[in-house]
Structure 1
Amino acid sequence: MLDESVPTGIDASVPHPARRYNYWLGGKDNFQADRESADEIEAKFPGMRAGVRANRDVLRRITGFLAADAGIRQFLDIGTGLPTADNTHEVAQRIAPNSRVLYVDNDPLVMTHARALLTSTPEGTTDYIQADLREPEKILDSPELRSTLDLGQPVALMLIAILHFLPERERARAIVRQLVDALPSGSYLAATHFTTDFMPADELVVYRQMLDAGRTDIWPSTRAEFTGLFEGLELVEPGVVLATEWRPDGSGPEVDPSRISMWAGVGRKP
């Protein structure tokens, strides 16, 4: 673990979603606060790790669809998290080596690891900026975005397991709209989002209590609320479904929907 040496700019006493996610995936780039937060959530909701893994798997499938079937060569991945297997640029560049990817995250540790580990193919480009989804204008105005992506050509906006950290649904929709509006026709929005739609009644009561007490920073969305994020876009088949049901490839085991609790969807900008 990393507790012995905390990089500059990181508050190891406050859990961070990217490091908690890393812990659930079996990684070692996390601190005690991250592990305690993750363990508390998982103790009450045993399916959390299954949902996290399902989310990682659907990222791979969505990226593969965008690169292979949709012909996308540019990706804006916001809330990328710590590097692990099959990162966006690795999947995309296996299919199209000239793919260009800009990663965005607000955790300095993510950026440190990204710069050290996420290297591009010679034909493509991979870059990283430390920025916050809640300030989309800073992302869109960044010199790294302008040098990595051509906003005159289609871009895939990847918002994978990030929007549920925004407690206000209308604010989330406004941010998505601002980002999508900056992209040209033929671009795509790919998103996943935590939901309690399948959660057993007893767990749902506990989850609401945790939200009210500030013991979790993951704000759920109903299917209707999540679908609303794709307003004005053409939903790609199979539409908004559980992460495990978005174009499954048979590589993962079948899991009870209540243990997944993650919506997934991809929409094309006309």
Structure 2
Amino acid sequence: ADIDLLLSKSDPATFGRGPNDVLDETYRKAWKLDEDSFCWRFNPDSGEFISRLTQGLCPWDTFEKGIRVEPYKLNVYGQGGFFKTHKDTPRAENMFGSLVFTLPTQHEGGNLNLRHRTRQLSFDAAALLQSASPTSVAYVAFYSDVDHEVLEVTSGHRITITFNLYFDDFRAPVILPKKKLDIPRNPFMLALQELTNDANFRKTTQYLGFGLEHDYPMKVEGHQGANTEFVDKWQGYLKGPDALLYRSLADMGLRPELQLLYDSS
């Protein structure tokens, strides 16, 4: 009865395509409530929760900036509901990720599959909730540029509440620098250290370039000044492996800099 009432107040779920919201049930079949149409007592925008979440997203970063969590949507996927592969539309330049809670309503299917480059994860909230207490929720957080899809729900109702994650310079850091973890001596760092210790290599090589693994939203009106803006803003906003790379290079005594490359062809 509660689910029927919820559905009666919900609208068919749209999705972003460029600047537009599109309704296409061959691509996404679900129901939704916007953030101003529902209330949930649990507030993930609390110090302890968001600190643990941030440590999971990037345990080696100092995170000398604040994080803000804002409610976005409540979604209901009934039997036959799904959402094909997509990326979340950044709502602002400082939005970097999404946080999705799955409520403990009985359902089967509806796995959230995440893919980024060669890495992938299948988040099976239904299985996690079956082995948890009735008052538990399952949650997952991921960067906005990660491809993800909701597989078809085969029975029941998959109900989720999604929050957007933002960097916020007006908030205190969620993790103090003293809590940062040491970067493990991984094969990449060992190989690079051996290379930079080679006197002939240092003599013949002035620059090394590494492409970033993640995408970053950015408004650029012309190229003039864009690179300076990028360096100033995004050095502290790097995600996961990009933050790890930057810190690794700095810890090795190198001088990493962020640069923009333009394809003028």
- The structure richer in strand per residue is 2
Normalising by the residue count of structure 2, what TM-score does the alignment of the two structures yield?
0.23
- The structure richer in helix per residue is 1
